[in-house]
Copies of this chain bind each other. A is one copy, B any other.
Amino acid sequence: MLLAEVTGSLGSIGYGLAAIGPGVGIGIIFGNGVQAMARQPEATGLIRQNMLLGFALAEALALIGVVMPFVFGK
């Protein structure tokens, strides 16, 4: 008797969910960043520096989602 043949770990789903927010967020950061650069091209260095700061802080949320299944049991 074979019931559902579903395999895999909930860790994959957990990472997938954790990647939704930073994915949208990084898009908003760079989308507004290129708009800001077009408005003030001479401030490109300042804008790029803060864009990458925001990118790193948002990306960290997804990377924590990679290690969580090892913590909680994968």
Q: In which size bucket is the chain A interface?
A: 35 or more
A23 interface neighbour in B1, B3, B21, B38, Cβ under 8 Å: B21
**How many identical subunits does the complex contain?**
5
B54, A15: Cβ atoms under 8 Å?
Answer: no
Interface flags for A1-14 (1: CB within 8 Å of B; 0: not) read 11111111111111
A6 interface neighbour in B6, B18, B30, Cβ under 8 Å: B6
Residues of B within 8 A of A47 (CB): 34, 37-38
- Most B CB contacts (10 A, CB to CB) among A21, A34, A54, A71 go to A34
**Interface residue ranges, A against B (CB under 8 Å):** 1-41, 43-44, 46-48, 50-51, 53-55, 57-59, 61-62, 64-66, 68-69, 71-74
